[in-house]
Amino acid sequence: MSNKKNEDIEMRGGEKDFGGEKDPFMGRPPVPHRNNSQDGVTAYIEKLDNSPGASILAYCMASISMTVVNKYVVSGTYWNLNFFYLAVQCIVCITALLIGQQMGLIKNLAPFESTKAKRWFPISLAFVGMIYTSAKALQFLSVPVYTIFKNLTIIVIAYGEVLWFGGRVTPLALLSFGLMVLSSVVAAWADVQAAINGIGHSAEASAALSTLNSGYAWMGLNVISTASYVLGTRKAIKKLNFKDRDTMFYNNLITIPVLIACSLIVEDWSRENLARNFPPETRNTLFIGMIYSGLAAIFISYCSGWCLRVTSSTIYSMVGALNKLPIAISGLVFFDAPVTFGSVSAIFIGFVSGIVFAWANIRQRQQAKQTLPTAQPTVMSASSASNRDAANS
């Protein structure tokens, strides 16, 4: 958000000589009338733009709303158009980026180059895998379970950085990893128990367990594809010198034809199937949700950069860890996920594991500052931060 101040417009009128003496009042340019209400709005916007609390709240709301809306769209009984849904997301995101660039709201957006697109194409394929498996996992799992299992991605990424980028896993980080695994086991156990106890007939119970197993399989694929995307992006972003929203622009633009082709080839476009996926009573809200989900990617990217700018990387890490709790609770509130001792315990353990992991990162950065630097520090851009948010949301 750019801050624009009103500039006084200097109006020079012709000067008239009355008896060889200038009227001092006539010789001065007229003072423009200042609008106090406009000044008040400008001051309020500037204050809001530099408010840490507002940036944290906006970041949390963007992340929570995107997860909830995605769950709402794909949770229909007969929903089977995930490729189409993801293509709409990408089209809306690209359209919003281009409109923002034309209006001057988005600056420094890299122009499209075919050579860069070819080099970025493998990363875009990993991006397609990440968002598709995420949608499929949300389709079969509840929001709390999905959020808890998403923490396992952090473990895979951390050890990927150890192998390929010379990273280091501290004992405190290992403790957080253990808590993440424990929370996932407790969440799966609570989910299975709720499915068995909530349905009396064995046939229905086996069908519910089969649905859960499909969700866990898609969740496992999502963990692998997300880690591949994040690690690949980190390596490619340095070679191509991408900054800010360049990764978002290239990801969405390149994946649009891939998603459309997959939708036309794999998915059923018959009139009957479209009627089942978009029933008249929820058709308008589904379209609104699909459009919002495309805009939410930009909201998260902007709010990430905003939060990093007005707070600090330490606070930003803690907010990302604490944000897991309201996302999990939103699933209990909006989608009637089973509230049991096991599910609540899993959410609490996952919440604690996120805090421990964020604190481990903070301690590691503090120790790195105390040592003599031997190389240039890595600066995380807003796009890199948004990639990490996409991996964890």
* pLDDT score, position 37: 62
124-135 per-position pLDDT tens digit: 898 899 989 999
Q: What is the mean pLDDT of residues 231-257?
A: 81
Q: Can you give the residue range of the structural domain that contains 355?
A: 75-392
pLDDT tens digits, residue range 79-123? 899 999 999 999 999 999 888 888 877 777 778 888 888 888 888
Residues in the chain: 393
Look at residue 270 and tell me if it is in a domain: yes
Phi-psi region of 324 (alpha: psi -120 to 50; beta: other; left: phi over 0): alpha
pLDDT number for residue 83: 93
In a domain, 367, yes or no: yes
The neighbouring-strand residues paired with 18 are 21
Decide if 254 is inside a domain: yes
Quickly list DSSP for 327-388: HHHHHHHHS-----HHHHHHHHHHHHHHHHHHHHHHHHHHHHHHSPP-SPPPPPPHHHHHHH
Residue 16: the pLDDT is: 41
* Whether the Cβ atoms of residue 196 and residue 211 lie closer than 8 Å to each other: no
Closest CA to 192 of 173, 215, 169: 215
pLDDT of res. 278: 92
What is the C-alpha to C-alpha distance for residues 214 and 188, in angstroms, rounded to an integer? Answer: 13
Sequence-ordered list of residues with C-beta below 8 angstroms from that of 290, at least 6 positions apart, any chain = 73, 85, 88, 89, 92
Specify if 323 maps to a domain: yes
Q: Evaluate whether residue 302 is within a structural domain.
A: yes
Residue 308 lies in a domain: yes
CB 1 within 8 A of CB 299: no
For residue 95, the model assigns a pLDDT of: 92
Looking at residue 263, what is its pLDDT? 94
Q: Residue 309: inside a domain, yes or no?
A: yes
Q: Give dist(CA 198, CA 211) in Å, integer.
A: 14
Is 43 domain-assigned?
no
User: Is residue 21 classed as helix, strand or coil in its secondary structure?
Assistant: strand
The total of structural domains in the chain comes to: 1
Place of tokens 């012709």: 14
- Beta carbons within 10 angstroms of residue 68's beta carbon: 18
